Chains A and B, each alone.
Chain A
Amino acid sequence: MSNSSDWPLWEVFIRSKQGLNHKHVGSLRAPDAQLAIENARDVYTRRSEGISIWVVESNNLFASDPQDSDAFFEPSESKVYRHPTFYDVPDGISHM
């Protein structure tokens, strides 16, 4: 039987206007990329929310593991000196 479940799941990304990133908005089922893009237009841009659409098969998306996120992101947590606020700037110094 032909089911929408037989169709792959596609993740949809929309660029709302020129100069901004594509942003994830949701997913949908479609038999191929072309139809996924056309369906995404109808589902996610009925009020001019987008000027460009990306779709990617959900199977092709790889994610970091939330269970390990503490350890995984720890290297950046412990390096406060990467932020400008770490440094003392003497009074009277400007443009820095």
Chain B
Amino acid sequence: MKEISLVDLENRFQKKVDSEIRIEPNDWMPEEYRRTLIRQISQHAHSEVVGMLPEGNWITRAPNLRRKAVLLAKVQDEAGHGLYLYSAVETLGADREQTIDDLHSGKAKYSSIFNYPTPTWADMGAIGWLVDGAAIMNQVPLCRCSYGPYARAMVRVCKEESFHQRQGFEIMTVLAQGTPEQKAMAQDALDRFWWPALMMFGPNDDESKHSKQSMKWKIKRFSNDDLRQQFVDVTVPQAKLIGLTIPDPDLKWNEKTGHYEFGEINWDEFWQVVEGNGPCNFDRIKARKDAKEKGMWVRKAASAHAAKRAARKTA
């Protein structure tokens, strides 16, 4: 076979991407594309797994059995989503356990939203409605991502995610229609989660360092600011409908553009949380490390059980 130059390979690759042909694990791909995907997919997986913690906080204290069963199912889904994504990241030649250790050492990031505390039951509503709502906005375009295994994982995730958002909105609706104290609790959760939810879409477009290349590779389909605007446009009427107020004095409808205008995001807070200084960063990582270390006996027991089973078979 004749030697193909790197430039030719890269051109061929880009042509495939441009004509919407999916890239599969054994296909040639630029090293930087592989690195970008490993970083993005593993951090996405970590977000799903760390995302179990703020909600896990309420499983034992859900107000009734129905809410408890639903919350349990949702948290179990998040674990599943993490596993679909770790499976996808392994197709790129990354070591699953290494990516997890990178999370524990602080080398790998996860979505900054999960560094906020969940002191009240209404936070379960706000997370489902706003956080999962924002996640869906981000993830639906990823179903058409150029990398096949990531796109397929996202299809599964998105199918499951819409129940997450609905159960959250249901919690908020019920509280908003409840006693004055319950309504105040719902409003308080919205007040605390609104701005962090907007930050989930990442920095403004001109500040986002990976965006341009990711768009060219069709890993990313829409810009951070476009997705954020879309989220604001669909969410504001939902809040109105249940009688809650978006905590933004600058929020107003622009008849001309057909979009809501909203106030300036506190990017200093965003970067502080990303850098590890949010209210719960330390607790989240500690919980993950503890889960691995204190749960190690389960892995050992599973290995021992498998070895015994194998020995019985050959005996």
Contact = CB atoms under 8 A, between A and B. Distances in A.
A46 B302 contact: no
Contacts of B299: 2-4
The secondary-structure label for the interface of chain A is mixed
Contact of A26 (B84, B296, B302): B84
Nearest to B310: A32
A63 B27 CA distance: 12
Contacts of A31: 302-303, 305-307
A68 B98 CA distance: 32
Interface in B92-141: 95-98
Contacts of B87: 26-28
Interface residues on A, range: 20 to 34
A29 B26 CA distance: 20
A43 to B, nearest CB: 5
Contacts of A63: 26
A47 B74 CA distance: 12
Contacts of B91: 27
A91 interface: no
Nearest to A65: B26
B90 A9 contact: yes
Contact of A66 (B26, B305, B307): B26
B213 interface: no
Interface in B50-79: 73, 76-77
B302 A35 contact: yes
Given A9-B90, A26-B84, A26-B153, A34 B306 contact: yes
A27 B28 contact: no
Interface in A51-78: 63, 65-67
Interface residues of B, number: 32
A67 B152 CA distance: 22
Interface in B138-163: 149, 152-153, 160
A27 B76 CA distance: 18
Given A26-B88, A31-B302, A34-B306, 19 more contacts: A2-B303, A3-B97, A3-B299, A5-B95, A5-B98, A6-B303, A27-B91, A28-B83, A28-B87, A30-B302, A31-B303, A32-B306, A35-B305, A46-B76, A46-B77, A46-B160, A63-B26, A65-B26, A66-B24
A5 B97 contact: yes
A82 to B, nearest CB: 24
Contacts of A4: 96-97, 299
B306 A35 contact: yes
For the complex of A and B, 9 pairs with smallest distance between CB atoms: A31-B306, A32-B306, A5-B97, A26-B87, A27-B87, A2-B300, A31-B303, A66-B26, A66-B27
B84 A43 contact: yes
A2 B296 contact: yes
B309 interface: yes
A32 B308 CA distance: 11
A30 B303 CA distance: 9
A3 B300 CA distance: 9
A35 to B, nearest CB: 6
Interface string B282-315: 0000000000000010011011011101100000
